[in-house]
Amino acid sequence: MSKAVEAFRTISEVADELDVPKHVLRFWEAKFPQIRPMKRGGGRRYYRPEDMELLRGIRHLLHAEGYTIKGVQKILREHGIEHVKTLSRELAAAQAEAAASKRGRKAAARPDGLDKKLAKAPVSLATVPSPPSKASERRAQVEALIAELEACRRLLMADVLAGEAKTAQRRAGSARG
């Protein structure tokens, strides 16, 4: 039986849900003063739902996006806690949609249209500034990111092909000699 979304969670439950050790959560508390679980007698920590959103966002930035601790601190300082929580919510929505489509069902449409935006923009959520002032500006940003990614892909493919050509030349040269 799982807890309700709005229920408080212990550090063990949070560690299991986020798939990180408990000592990492304590370390994050030291590095990110924005993480403030409620503490009861004996120092026992209880994480509120908003703490969970922040932790999910931090975990995503650190583990999935490859940010450093200082990088995430800078994002929190410049964009605020709500930005990181928004990343967490957007990631959860994208994962729910992916899981639903994997099961062969369509996820329930979100009233803000985020499901359609995420489907059209398979880019890192952390790289898109928040909040965009206009939909057309966001679309332009996403298109620029996609173009940049495609250029990177072409460069990587050129390097791979060049490496394969060099390997073939070396093999041909060693076969003759």
pLDDT digit string, tens, across residues 101-115? 777 655 455 555 545
Total number of domains constituting the chain: 2
Assess contact for 49 and 6: CB atoms under 8 A. yes
The answer as to whether 88 is a domain residue is yes
150 shares its domain with 115: no
Q: What is the pTM of this model?
A: 0.56
Tens of pLDDT, residue by residue over 124-176, are 444 444 444 566 677 778 888 888 888 878 888 877 777 777 777 777 777 76
Angle of the 49-59 helix axis to the 22-31 helix axis, nearest 10: 90
49 shares its domain with 114: yes
Question: Bridge partners of 9?
Answer: 47
Last residue of a domain, one of 78, 100, 121: 121
